[in-house]
Amino acid sequence: MLSADVGLDLGTASVIIYVRGRGIVLQEPSVVAIDEERQQVLAIGQAARDMLGRTPGPIAAIRPLRNGVVAHYQVTELMLRYFLRKALGGWHLSRPRLVACVPSAVTDVERRAVAEACRQAGAREVHLISEPMAAAIGAGLDVEEPVGNMVVDVGGGTTDVAVISLGSEVVADSVRVAGDSMDEAVVRHLKRQHNLVIGERSAEDLKIELGTVDPEGAVDVPPREVRGRDAVTGLPRTQQVEAEEIRAALMEPAMSIVDAVRRVLERTPPELAADIYERGVVMTGGGALLRGLDRLLSQQTGLPVQLADDPITCVARGTGKVLDLLQRNRRVATTPAQRVV
């Protein structure tokens, strides 16, 4: 029977699916809309994301994955089943073999939850790989060589930092500060400074259009009008927002990411640290696209920092390469790292 090998980037913000021989075939938000009164799924993916903040009482648009792990098991299973069917269609006739990624610092219980959700969604065989390892492989780093490679994967729910050598993570850290935290920082800033309440989609749009953490200052763009609800009167209104104030709001989560990188560097063996000083740091993930984050990290650590090609899909492409060399890379997918305390 025909079968498929599938690589899965199971992210807090989006799910990306790679099918061996076909490349990336699906990239959709990891959001599910549910009618809680009827216990019925109304929409999954982009259609559900369009409902965020706009649903009536009995309908909830939720993210079943939080901080890179399963928060709502049954909803996650339904979402994965839907995405796998959409990605594979009628192309396969048997249950696929699947490589899925998880954050570095997940517990054994959280690992089992991800693996079981994948099996219940239709996978016959599940292999788990840490996100920074998958990101490093997807970015083209030679992780099996006896040299130090440092990767910083800034996702939606978590930022994973790892030093990799000889096919294993030597030192790793995972912090629950990433793209979503940046959106929340924008929401808090506007409420505190302007008494304006906005939703997470509006905050994300502001971050993309005006956001920067460049040490040299804010981007040279005109102010942007944002619509929301007045926290005092409860009435709708608009507010002009400057790029500099969005920069100020984003600096706190950005510095938390820098601190995570410093903690990993402090625990890195000297020989590998020397390699990193020479080879630099590679950034992946959608959050790495924030303007100036690479320059801020370089300024704060004194290391060269570069953004990977197509950083959003690095993890998914890494799972695809593991699929291509599954037998050889099985140890890479399961070897634990020394955690930063």
Dihedral sign for Cα atoms in the order 108, 112, 118, 124: positive
pLDDT at 4: 79
What is the share, in percent, of the chain residues with pLDDT greater than 90?
A: 60
Answer left, alpha or beta for residue 253, where phi above 0 means left and psi between -120 and 50 means alpha: alpha
Separation CA 259–CA 242 (nearest Å) = 27
Cβ 16 vs Cβ 313: under 8 Å: yes
What's the pLDDT band for 332 if we cut at 50, 70, 90? low
- pLDDT value at residue 305: 97
C-alpha torsion 264→268→270→276, nearest 10:
-60
Helix (H, G, I), strand (E, B) or coil at 233: coil
Q: What is the pLDDT of residue 61?
A: 85
The pLDDT value recorded for residue 70 is: 85
Torsion 84-76-97-120 (CA) sign: negative
| DSSP 8-state secondary structure symbol assigned to residue 95 | P
Residue range 110-134, pLDDT digits in tens: 888 889 999 988 888 899 999 999 9
Handedness of CA 225, 226, 231, 236 (dihedral sign): positive
**Is the pLDDT reported for residue 274 higher than 60?**
yes
pLDDT in tens, 207-219: 999 999 998 876 6
Residue 341: what pLDDT? 38
Catalogue all structural domains in the chain, each as residue range(s) with its CATH number: 5-134+315-339 (3.30.420.40), 135-177+260-313 (3.30.420.40), 179-250 (3.90.640.10)
Check residue 279 and give its pLDDT. 94
Query: Do 60 and 33 meet the contact criterion of CB atoms below 8 Å apart?
Result: yes
Bridge partner list, 159: 154, 175
Q: Which residue type occupies 84? A: L
Instruction: Find out whether 40 and 48 touch, Cβ atoms under 8 Å.
Output: no
* High-pLDDT (> 70) share of the chain, %: 93
Separation of alpha carbons 134 and 153, rounded Å? 10
Examine the pLDDT at 295 and tell me if it is beyond 90: yes
pLDDT computed for residue 252 by the predictor: 95
pLDDT digits (tens, 9 = 90+) for 57-100: 788 888 898 877 888 888 999 999 999 989 887 555 568 889 99
Q: Which has the minimum average pLDDT: 189-198, 202-211, 326-335? A: 326-335
Amino acid symbol at 291: R
Q: What is the pLDDT of residue 106?
A: 80
Q: Can you spell out the DSSP letters for 268-330?
A: S-HHHHHHHHHH-EEEESGGGGSBTHHHHHHHHH-S-EEEPSSGGGHHHHHHHHHHHTHHHHH
Residues 293, 164: contact at Cβ < 8 Å?
no
Q: Which pair of tokens denotes residue 294?
A: 């690479």
* Mean pLDDT value across the chain: 88
Give the annotated binding-site residues. 156-158, 204-207, 286-289
Q: Is the pLDDT of residue 184 over 50?
A: yes
Contacts of 131 (CB under 8 A, 6+ apart): 68, 101, 102, 103, 104, 153, 155, 158, 160, 315
* Ranges 38-52, 91-105, 122-136, 298-312, most confident: 298-312
pLDDT in tens, 215-262: 887 667 888 999 999 999 999 999 999 999 999 999 999 999 999 999
pLDDT at 165 over 60: yes
pLDDT of 3 above 70: no
Annotated binding site for ATP: 156-158, 204-207, 286-289
CB 184 within 8 A of CB 95: no
Paired strand residues for 18: 7, 24
Give the tokens for residue 107: 């517990």
- Of the candidates 68, 158, 78, 70, which has an alpha carbon nearest to the alpha carbon of residue 109? 70
pLDDT at position 90: 57
**Structure-token pair, residue 19:** 């099918």
Give the amino acid at 243: A
pLDDT at 339 over 50: no
Rounded Cα distance, 85 and 211, in Å: 36
CA neighbor of 189 nearest in space, from 210, 214, 215, 165? 210
Sheet-wide strand order for 338-339: 305-307, 281-284, 149-154, 159-165, 168-175, 338-339
Q: What is the pLDDT of residue 55?
A: 77
Residue 164, strand partner residues = 149, 169
